[in-house]
Amino acid sequence: MCGIVGISAKKNVSSDIVQCLNHLSYRGYDSAGLSITKDNEIFERKIQGKVTNLENFLNNDPISGNCGIGHTRWATHGEPNTINAHPHTISNVSVVHNGIIENYHDLKAILEKSGVNFISDTDTEIISQLINIELINGKKPLEAFKNTITKLEGAYAIVAIFRGYDDLMIGTKLGSPLLYMKAKNMIILSSDAYSISDYGSSVTYLEDGDIIVTEKSKISLHDYSLNTIQRPSKKIKKRDKDGLNGHDHFMIKEIKEQPDVLSHALSYYLNFSKYKINLDKYNFDFTKINRIIISACGTAYFAGMVAKSWFEDIANIKVDLDIASEFRYKKMFFDNKTLSLFISQSGETADTLAALRHAKENDQKIVSVVNTVESSIAKESDLVLPIFAGQEIGVASTKAFTCQLATLASLVLFLAKKKRHINASQEKALIEELVHIPSQVLDVLKYENDIKKIAKDIHKSSSAIFMGRGATLPLALEGALKLKEISYIHAEGIASGELKHGAIALVDKKLPVIVLAPDDIFYVKNLSNMNEVYSRGGKIILVGKVQNNQLKDLKLTGINIEVNGKLNIPIIMSIPLQLLAYHVAKLRGTDIDQPRNLAKAVTVE
Ligand code: M6R
């Protein structure tokens, strides 16, 4: 996952940039680079692969200067090669960027019409090209930078250096983090406090829309209208070697990685600029398939449950879904038009592997959706669709769940198109839903403080109910699993319509009921079930479309989530449930990453 550094100092900054890139490398990346200004020119070195490749490159062909920027790239737009590596230098400017420029294809089309040639496949290059044009048109760097960022949509942290300005760095952020540190004889900009903690003990975080300008040893911060502003500095923790990156647990670290890993997974399966699904690259014959069997365990099973509704609604393909431990003992009606699909984070879950072998013995074609591509499940499959979540260490599956969904959504769209069940404009609209998911996850993560308050209110409960309908029923089951496995609170997920067929007997003023009601066709029905809980004094937490009158009249707690698409609801709405489980467990002092009796890979039946 990408990392940014920028250093201005009274000495050559090349080796310090490389050191910071090494400290950013824990995030995962596939290329690295730096650029430095000296004698009114920009010098750039970048290379595919590890920072050691960059170090070797610099040993053979060094660059030096007092001001420079560096980047570790985890490919999202365009292959992980040297050309797509950052920085992106276009004659007068060199840029490093984290995040996604969502409107880059529109901006690129405009520039291409006016004769601009693009070198890379990245969304980042549009930033360098736009700033360069402003500079050619006579604008000063700050104005050129500001005029450019006003055109960008998406989430980003950007730092730029300029030809002819040996000591100048300009940066900004929207959605993605950017901070600065005033160290001894040095100013450092970074996307990650942790990676620069060897240089000092406090940093200043930029807020969205802030612009930072550093020139020699001077730092100035500006708001969007270029008024000077101040931001408070914060003490930071020292870098440690445990891989937690300053977080208390892997689970919360992994929850927060989701915008990055989702954009990685989605950009592998989708061509964002052409609004196309990239699954044709697999030499696998999907043409005959008219039925899919899905099998998995735990959270992966709930991903399968979401996928079933997508395959049926969007691709018009019938799906039979089974828990893997049941699958192998059941009559499955295999035939040569059926595809067997297995979902597993670890790729080693014994029941899922046994189910796969059972399908294989029955001459089924096997597709697996896995995180660990070296796993047994992957090795025994005819086609492997990796989910690109990166290593998941916390026992509670979080980022693997949303990346499984992103991967499955891509497969659904691919098959829907192959079966001609969606037309070009429906395909475009569904891809557009997926494109916005990383930045929507980032927005929902901002509810963490509200969720902490809810966690405080419910953490002493002995039981909880999650309820949903349609797209949110699998989430109700997943939310309950997440809560029970790490907090040890008994939790049940139910279909909202089933409430009055039994679970309503549990409702009293101590019982938290988490109602999952997005702005979809079930909203009104969900609300009437919520009212049934309210009338019996239950403690309602509404996640979805929250209206002001509900907050007042029903005195409920709400997390307002504004997505209403078929594909984005399950992905986005799982985030608050993960945060809720985490903060409840934290308040209860459980062993969050390794809850009692559980293992990360369940390799026994
Ligand atoms: O590695 P897998 O995805 O096959 O694992 C399946 C389940 O064991 C797993 O999802 C488990 O339910 C998690 N603890 C859920 O958070």
**Nearest-angstrom CA–CA distance, 488 and 485:** 6
**Nearest-angstrom CA–CA distance, 182 and 91:** 29
Looking at the chain, the whole-number percentage of residues with pLDDT higher than 90 is 72
Question: Does 27 have pLDDT greater than 70?
Answer: no
Compute the distance from residue 399 Cα to the ligand 1 centre, in Å: 12
Q: Which CATH homologous superfamily contains domain 3-246?
A: Aminohydrolase, N-terminal nucleophile (Ntn) domain (3.60.20.10)
Q: List pLDDT tens digits, range 64-117.
A: 999 999 999 877 777 788 999 999 999 999 999 988 888 989 999 999 999 999
Q: Could you tell me how many helices (H) and strands (E) the chain has, helices first?
A: 19, 27
pLDDT of residue 74: 78
Q: List pLDDT tens digits, range 6-24.
A: 999 999 999 999 999 988 8
pLDDT of residue 605: 62
Ligand 1 pocket residue status of 349, Cβ below 6 Å: yes
Residues 417/150, Cβ–Cβ less than 8 Å: no
Looking at the chain, the whole-number percentage of residues with pLDDT higher than 70 is 98
Determine the residue of 299, 370, 598 to mutate for testing ligand 1's pocket, defined as the one with the most ligand atoms within 8 A of the Cβ atom: 299
Ligand 1 pocket residue status of 298, Cβ below 6 Å: yes
Length of the chain (residues): 605
Work out the burial of residue 53: count CB atoms within 10 Å of its CB; fewer than 13 is exposed, 13-18 middle, 19 or more buried.
Answer: middle
Compute the distance from residue 297 Cα to the ligand 1 centre, in Å: 6
**Nearest-angstrom CA–CA distance, 190 and 306:** 38
* Whether 600 is catalytic: yes
Mean pLDDT of 112-135: 95
Measured CA to CA in angstroms, residue 534 lies from 206, 382, 392, 504, 529 at distances of: 42, 51, 38, 11, 9
**Was domain 445-588 assigned CATH 3.20.20.140?**
no
Q: How confident is the model at residue 169 (pLDDT cuts 50, 70, 90)?
A: very high
pLDDT of residue 71: 96
**Nearest-angstrom CA–CA distance, 236 and 586:** 21
Please name the residue whose Cα sits nearest to atom 7 of ligand 1.
298
Helix (H, G, I), strand (E, B) or coil at 396: coil
How, if at all, do strands 93-101 and 88-90 pair?
antiparallel
Q: List pLDDT tens digits, range 331-371.
A: 888 999 999 999 999 898 989 999 999 999 999 999 999 99
**Nearest-angstrom CA–CA distance, 497 and 435:** 32
In the chain, the amino acid numbered 391 is Q
> Between the CA atoms of 452, 191, 218 and 169, what dihedral angle is there, to the nearest 10 degrees?
-140
> What global pTM score does this model have?
0.74
Residues 122/140, Cβ–Cβ less than 8 Å: no
Helix (H, G, I), strand (E, B) or coil at 142: helix
Which residues are CB-contacts of 178 (< 8 A; sequence separation ≥ 6)?
Answer: 4, 157, 158, 159, 171, 172, 189, 190, 191, 205, 206, 212
In the chain, the amino acid numbered 584 is V
Ligand 1 pocket residue status of 477, Cβ below 6 Å: no
Compute the mean pLDDT over every residue in the chain, rounded to the nearest whole number.
92
Fold agreement between 254-435 and 445-588: yes
Q: List pLDDT tens digits, range 213-243.
A: 999 889 999 998 889 999 999 888 776 667 7
Q: What is the 3-state secondary structure (H, E, C) of 267-312?
A: HHHEECCCCEECHHHCCCCCCCCCEEEEEECHHHHHHHHHHHHHHH
pLDDT of residue 275: 78
Q: How confident is the model at residue 604 (pLDDT cuts 50, 70, 90)?
A: low
Query: How many alpha carbons lie under 13 Å from residue 250 in its C-beta half-sphere?
Result: 19
Q: Identify the bridge partners of residue 321 per DSSP, sorted by sequence position.
A: 294
Radius of gyration of the chain (CA): 25
Residue-range domain boundaries for the chain: 3-246, 254-435, 445-588
Lookup: tokens for 119: 């070198």
Which CATH code fits 254-435?
A: 3.40.50.10490
**Nearest-angstrom CA–CA distance, 373 and 168:** 44
Ligand 1 pocket residue status of 300, Cβ below 6 Å: yes
**Nearest-angstrom CA–CA distance, 206 and 197:** 17
Ligand 1 pocket residue status of 478, Cβ below 6 Å: no
Please name the residue whose Cα sits nearest to atom 11 of ligand 1.
298
Compute the distance from residue 356 Cα to the ligand 1 centre, in Å: 16
Question: Does 28 have pLDDT greater than 70?
Answer: no
Q: How confident is the model at residue 552 (pLDDT cuts 50, 70, 90)?
A: confident
* Whether 256 is catalytic: no
Work out the burial of residue 596: count CB atoms within 10 Å of its CB; fewer than 13 is exposed, 13-18 middle, 19 or more buried.
Answer: exposed
Ligand 1 pocket residue status of 299, Cβ below 6 Å: yes
Got the DSSP string for 157-198? EEEEEETTEEEEEEEEEEBS--EEEEETTEEEEES-GGGGTT
Compute the distance from residue 262 Cα to the ligand 1 centre, in Å: 19
**Nearest-angstrom CA–CA distance, 393 and 262:** 17
Measured CA to CA in angstroms, residue 480 lies from 153, 303, 473, 580 at distances of: 36, 14, 11, 10
443 versus 80: the higher-pLDDT residue is 443
Burial 482-500 (b: 16+ CB within 10 A, else e): bbbbbbbbebbbbbbeebe
How, if at all, do strands 165-174 and 154-162 pair?
antiparallel
